[in-house]
Structure 1
Amino acid sequence: MVSLSIHTICNKNNHTMVLNCTLIDDVLERYYLSPFYAIEFCIGFPGNLLVVLGYIFCLPVWHSCNIYLFNLAVSDLIFLCTLPRLSYLYANEQVETNPYACIINRYVLHVNLYSSILFMVWVCMDRFLLIKHPMKNHYLLRPRAALLVAGLSWLAVNVEVAPMIALMVQDLQSGNWSLCKDFASLKGEVNPFGYSLALTLTGYILPMVAMCGFSYQIAHLLHVHERALQHRATSYKKTLRVVASAAAMFLVLYTPYHVLRNVTIAIWQPWAGVKLCTGMYVQGLYILTRPLAFMHSVINPVFYFLMGDKFRQLLFAKLRKLLRKTERPRQPA
């Protein structure tokens, strides 16, 4: 009887432990993802909206760098519009039941993830070419070339994300179109682990290497021309700091997300043989990295003011002009 009681207690304890570890996702989604996404929207949406409107109404002449930054701001703005619904669903412990909303949300999320770093690569390339060709006589420094590069970038990112759409449709079909899952939990004919690794390589690692390469080249040019261009060394150093900061931002925000996304997908494969609670703990760590990866949408507006050619001065001048117009009717006759 004693041994039977002990065995019963152990079984109950194991069952309780399993129940507790399976609740990790629900707790993190409600008390971590929901407020984090709400904060990102409240801070990032006004900043990116201000930049988009500023570029449209305040910038009379667009250079190649402005075109890349504008596309980056538009991508961030569209993504941020999806966060309120996600925050609401997580806060109320609800799941997305509309399959169209599910697919569009995940599509926008991942297109923004990889278009942002790609457009920042072109910004870094533009700054490098501008230092190497101060007279702006390089083909890629022309606005038409920048429009072509931006269009091809959107096409490339959509091609990268297209297999995910097929994987999501297959997963929704298997769940009777009623359960919207995160990328790391999808199952279908497309191999999710192999696809995630390929997406990490093409969408993150290669652009990250390119950003670091442009940072190195700018530093090299700065070192070579430091004596000959002493009067412009300060502006060159500012460009180097901005480009290096952009590379560091994506390295810090994207690396944990991609590492844990691939690990999470791997542990749920049949060949992994990982225990349920171990997998749930790893998945919990992956959830922690998700809003951090999209923090770039909040930070990016800082680079618009640092890199844009006279954009800050033009924007502030426009805002002061609008404020003066609103104050005039209030003055007594």
Structure 2
Amino acid sequence: MVDMVNMPYALVFGSVTVLGLPLNAVSLWILLRRHSLKSPSAVFMVNLAISDLLLVISLPMRVYFYATGTWPLSATACVWIMILFHNNIRSSSIFITTICVDRLLAVVYPLRSRHLRTSSNASKAAALVWLLVVVVSIPESVDLTRFLRGNNESTCFEFNRPQRSGMAYFQPVLVFTMLVVNIVCTALVSWTLRTHLSDSARVSNKVNVMLIFVMNLVMFTVFFFPVSLVVLFDSWRPASTPLICLASVNCCLDPLLYYFSLDGFWARKEDVDTTLARVRVSDNNRWGQ
């Protein structure tokens, strides 16, 4: 039976699935095929694309639930689909912030940060992010399962927990912290591009650089932060489903971040490597190294 009340939610999640799956799959293919994992930005973007794909593959069951008003799977399946959504917000906020910090170092401290901005360090950081996400998921999944137990499974995605656990505050604090870091990075890069500090990198397209930081701030203020605050304010709970719908749209916009962040996103990996090599030679000649 079609649930007309919740049909708009089903349409939003369905649209995100239809757009997000091919966009992120193609982006991941391009990142791996043409950029490999030779730069820290590429490493973080690959992990961001994986995070978005994990979210997208969980959305069809949300479409079914909101279209029919019934939940055909177990309570455990419901919990893990909710966990995938929460983990996307957490991992995406961290990976977007690491991309932001990487761009900051590349623009403001291009020479002094070379030993830090390596694909090896980026891979280690990405592994730590996923480890953090998994560790946080364990007590959260236990908490969600405890409150779902004894309830009708058709209440999946719509139940209200009678009390907040300590884990409820982790996501808002994390997202707020990442937002502050993004604001600071945006301010520093904007100031550097305006004042042309002698130690800063020569940036050929300042509009693209600033667009990356603006997109990051939009991601946080529109998609990540509002939905993270729902658990803290009881008056916001009626708006939780619309905010979740809104937050899921972030996975459709991340491919734009890849396009503007990586020079020659569509170029072959060999061409990108040649360009980077020329830039390094130019910088070395410029700074006498």
TM over 0.5: yes
Displacement of 1:194 after TM fit?
A: 4.7
Amino acid at match of 1:92: T
Shift of 1:231: 10
Provide Cα deviations, 1:139-192, integer angstroms capped at 9, x if missing partner.
Answer: 33101000011011111222333332111121233337x3554387135xxx52
**Residue in 2 that maps onto 1:160:** 136
Moved over 4 A (4+): 228-231
The one-letter amino acid paired with 1:63 is S
Query: Are 1:87 and 2:63 counterparts?
Result: yes
Partner of 1:215: 186
Q: What amino acid maps onto 2:242 in structure 1? A: L
Q: How far did 1:34 drift?
A: 0.5
The unaligned stretches of length 5 or more in structure 1 are: 1-25, 268-281, 318-333
Q: Counterparts of 2:62 and 2:254 in 1: how far apart (Å)?
A: 21
- Per the TM alignment, residue 245 of structure 1 is displaced from its structure 2 partner at its CA by 2.0
Between the aligned partners of 2:134 and 2:157, the Cα distance in structure 1 is 18
The correspondence for 2:257, drawn from 300, 303, 306, is 303
TM-score (norm: length of structure 2): 0.83
Tell whether the 8 Å contact from 2:147 to 2:161 is kept in structure 1 after alignment: yes
Please give the residue correspondences for 1:248-259 in structure 2 after superposition, counting only pairs within 5 Å.
Answer: 248-259=218-229
| Residue pairs, 1:44-55, within 5 angstroms | 44-55=20-31
Residues 167 and 186 in structure 1, CA contact (< 8 A), matched pair in contact too = no
Change (3 A) 1:132 1:263: same
- The one-letter code sitting in structure 1 at the alignment partner of 2:217 is A
The aligned runs of 1:1-333 (5 Å cut-off) are: 28=5, 30-60=6-36, 62-135=38-111, 137-175=113-151, 178-179=153-154, 181-182=156-157, 185-187=160-162, 191-192=163-164, 194-202=166-174, 204-225=175-196, 232-264=202-234, 282-314=236-268
Question: What CA deviation, in whole Å up to 9, does each residue of 1:242-266 have, x standing for no partner?
Answer: 11221122212223323334223xx
Deviation at 1:69, TM superposition (A): 0.4
- What runs of 5+ residues in structure 2 fail to find an aligned partner? 272-289
- Using the size of structure 1 for normalisation, the TM-score is 0.72
Match in the other structure for 2:283: none
For the residues of structure 1 that align with 2:158 and 2:86, how far apart are their CA atoms? 10
> What are the superposed Cα offsets for residues 179-234 of structure 1, whole Å, 9 maximum, x if unpaired?
554387135xxx526532332112x11111111111111112223316x6999454
- Residue 287 of structure 2 corresponds to none
C-alpha contact (below 8 Å) 1:96/1:102 kept by paired residues = no
Q: How big is the alpha-carbon RMSD for the aligned residues of Structure 1 and Structure 2?
A: 2.6
Q: Retained in 2: the 8 A contact 1:102–1:180?
A: no
Structure with the higher helix share, 1 or 2: 1
Q: Shift in Å at residue 85 of structure 1?
A: 1.7
Task: Give me the identity figure in percent.
Answer: 20
The one-letter amino acid of 2:42's match is: N
Taking a change above 3 Å as real, the CA distance of residues 85 and 231 of structure 1, as seen in their structure-2 partners, is closer
Structure 2 CA distance, aligned partners of 1:256 and 1:162? Answer: 24
Distance in 1 of aligned mates of 2:98 and 2:200 = 27
